[in-house]
Homo-oligomer: A and B are copies of this chain.
Amino acid sequence: MAINLITGGAGFVGVNLAKQLLAAGEKVIAVDDLSRGRMEYLTQFSKNPAFTFIQLDCADADAFQAGVAALHAADSITDVWHMAANSDIPAGVADPGIDLQRTFMTTFATLLVMRNLSIPVIHFASSSAVYGDLADLAISEVSGPVEPISNYGAMKLASEAQIRAAVESYLQRANVFRFPNVVGVPATHGVILDLIRKARATPSGFDVLGDGTQQKIYLHVDDLLSAMLFIRKHAPGRYNVFNIGPSDAGITVREIAETVARQVAPGSEIRFGSGNKGWVGDVPRFRYATEKLSSLGWSPNMGSHAAIAKAAEQIARQEETS
């Protein structure tokens, strides 16, 4: 039976992943420094004997290894799901040390622990941000050049590179998931949460970064998890890289703002800024080739518009009860 270690296990994707793995009858050890993840997301698992949580900073290899070594000795960890990362792109532009520590060093330390404890398989939450701004080229897994324009994307690419080298040297297998923008609950950050909070704070009207023409693809976390588990089961190689995303052209910021307004502040005035980049390192528009994954047999249930609509409803409910 698979014994799973999830880094960032109290975060957005980690919590959804734990839920799925536990539902499939697998064991889960979640580690998280709780810098952004929250204990309350884990209370749903607290009575499940197949679930263990350890609070630790997985960028600290010594603390990480000490924290999991006894569990691993008792029952060998088979899969590491490395989800821990800084998810706040603007914060990483302001202070490069954040992406260094939380995205890059967590990967470095995770690999070191895997090497020391002979844990064979890693699944890694990478990002479309590794590609940078390829404008209107449809980005596939073999597209080049790969030129991230944010520290966030740079440290994700840097993490992939480390993992690739580790497969050559000691790992048995690695699956690299290049996430698009992912939405759902529990929402800890992101455009929907930001807009919902703004719209609830001043229901008469709210501001949106940029001119609203920015268009991006979005995937619902339910679909993301379905893809990750599918890849784990069906990917053929020792090192597998997959774009995960809908096959549509995405949804504009204007449409997202309108969806949010309908949800939480009907009739609200939406005020747009200027320019089509929200912040330094933001990629205004991209198209995502997902044929590699679809030809393996997976496709999402929701496109960008459906994912945003469902997430807006879920996040509005989350915010009402918080």
Contact = CB atoms under 8 A, between A and B. Distances in A.
A164 interface: yes
A165 B154 contact: yes
A164 B144 contact: no
B144 A161 contact: no
Contact of A165 (B144, B148, B162): B148
Contacts of A100: 108
A165 B281 contact: yes
Contact of A164 (B93, B147, B164, B280): B147
A111 interface: yes
Contacts of A143: 144
A112 interface: yes
Contacts of A132: 164
Interface of A: 93, 96, 100, 104, 108, 111-112, 115, 130, 132, 141-151, 153-155, 157-158, 161-162, 164-165, 168-169, 239, 241, 280-281
Given A141-B145, A155-B161, 10 more contacts: A96-B108, A104-B104, A104-B158, A147-B161, A148-B161, A149-B168, A150-B168, A151-B162, A157-B158, A169-B280
Contact of A168 (B155, B164, B169, B280): B280
Contacts of A161: 130, 146-148, 153-155, 157-158
A280 B100 CA distance: 27
A229 B145 CA distance: 23
7 contacts: A100-B108, A104-B104, A142-B144, A149-B164, A154-B161, A158-B161, A158-B162
Given A154-B164, A280-B169, A145 B144 contact: yes
Nearest to A152: B165
B146 A146 contact: yes
Nearest to A104: B158
A125 B186 CA distance: 43
A120 to B, nearest CB: 17
Nearest to A140: B144
A162 B168 contact: no
A165 B151 contact: yes
A93 B169 contact: yes
Given A100-B108, A168-B280, A281-B165, A144 B144 contact: yes
A236 to B, nearest CB: 15
B281 A168 contact: yes
Contacts of A150: 165, 168
Nearest to A281: B168
Nearest to A164: B147
